[in-house]
Amino acid sequence: MTDSTAAGAKQGSVFEDILEVLWAPAAVFERSRSRGAGLYMLVLTVIIVVLLVATKSLIQPYVDANFDLQLIKMAEQGSKMPAEAVESGRTFGGYFLFASWALSAVFAGLIGGVLTWLGSKVVSAALPFGRAVFIATLASVPRVLAILATAIQGAVLDTSNVTSLFAASIGPARFVDPAKVDNVVLTLLAGFDLFGLWNIAITAIGVSVIARVSRGAGWIASIIAVAISLLFSLIPAALS
């Protein structure tokens, strides 16, 4: 058996990689280092769409509450939405949010890939852009669990008094009143939930394994990537 055949035999399926990257990212990146990101994006998108369709009624109270929060924020800024437009706005806003979730693996892979590539440049890691996209795509897997966690909470908790999507956060944003907290602070808190930190860890390990750099360099590249992402999130939050 040749080395290439042996290496191929060690590769897992796309589904195996998507599952195992949650607890064994180093092994997944090592065995799949030459694979493209496209199939992973496609499979993740299908998984997310199926999950959203199956759990839409459980997630909907959080989506509606999030729209109500936006109405409150708009009213505070003197931009009250006309009453006759509220329901249509709620419907459109809900569809837009679900659509953005459905495409989150694609967005995370492409945008996250750019940021991961930039972070790797800072630590002088030899990481081609395509490999950065691959890392960012697999690092987005915890976000699927975030959707599932929201649906589970919708099933087991009283959602009649939820105030926004942040009420389902597994992180510090869960414990604040979003209507009374500055948008910049809220954005910062929301960025450090369990699944966001998981994403950072997977990215760090991916950079380390694929670029053949130390774990420390991988962590620096990952933190730089998330810092840039937060910066771009904070700008519209500060202006709103």
Per-residue pLDDT tens for 193-234?
999 999 999 999 999 999 999 999 999 999 999 999 998 888
Average pLDDT, the chain: 91
pLDDT recorded at residue 2: 40
DSSP secondary structure code for residue 126 in this structure = -
Cα→Cα distances 62→158, 185, 200, Å: 11, 20, 25
Query: Cα 150 to chain center, whole Å?
Result: 13
Distance between CA atoms of residues 204 and 58, nearest Å: 33
pLDDT recorded at residue 240: 64
Which tokens go with 197?
Answer: 């930190």
pLDDT recorded at residue 25: 97
pLDDT recorded at residue 239: 67
* pLDDT confidence bin for 238, thresholds 50/70/90: low
- Nearest partner of 127 among 217, 25, 27, 10, judged by Cα: 217
Distance between CA atoms of residues 226 and 233, nearest Å: 10
What percent of the chain lies above the pLDDT cut of 90?
Answer: 71
pLDDT tens digit sequence for 134-182 = 999 999 999 999 999 999 999 999 998 899 999 999 999 999 989 888 8
Distance between CA atoms of residues 58 and 154, nearest Å: 5
Residue 46 has pLDDT above 70, yes or no: yes
Q: What's the mean pLDDT in 90-118?
A: 95
Residue 5 has pLDDT above 60, yes or no: no
Q: What's the mean pLDDT in 14-39?
A: 95
Residue 57 has pLDDT above 90, yes or no: yes
- Nearest partner of 112 among 206, 180, 33, judged by Cα: 206
Q: How many CB atoms lie within 10 A of CB 175?
A: 10
Judge contact between 145 and 55, C-beta under 8 A. Answer: no
pLDDT recorded at residue 80: 80
* pLDDT confidence bin for 3, thresholds 50/70/90: very low
Residue 84 has pLDDT above 80, yes or no: no
Lowest mean pLDDT among 27-36, 79-88, 121-130, 159-168: 79-88
Residue 4 has pLDDT above 60, yes or no: no
pLDDT recorded at residue 6: 39
Q: What's the mean pLDDT in 74-84?
A: 79
Q: What's the mean pLDDT in 87-113?
A: 94
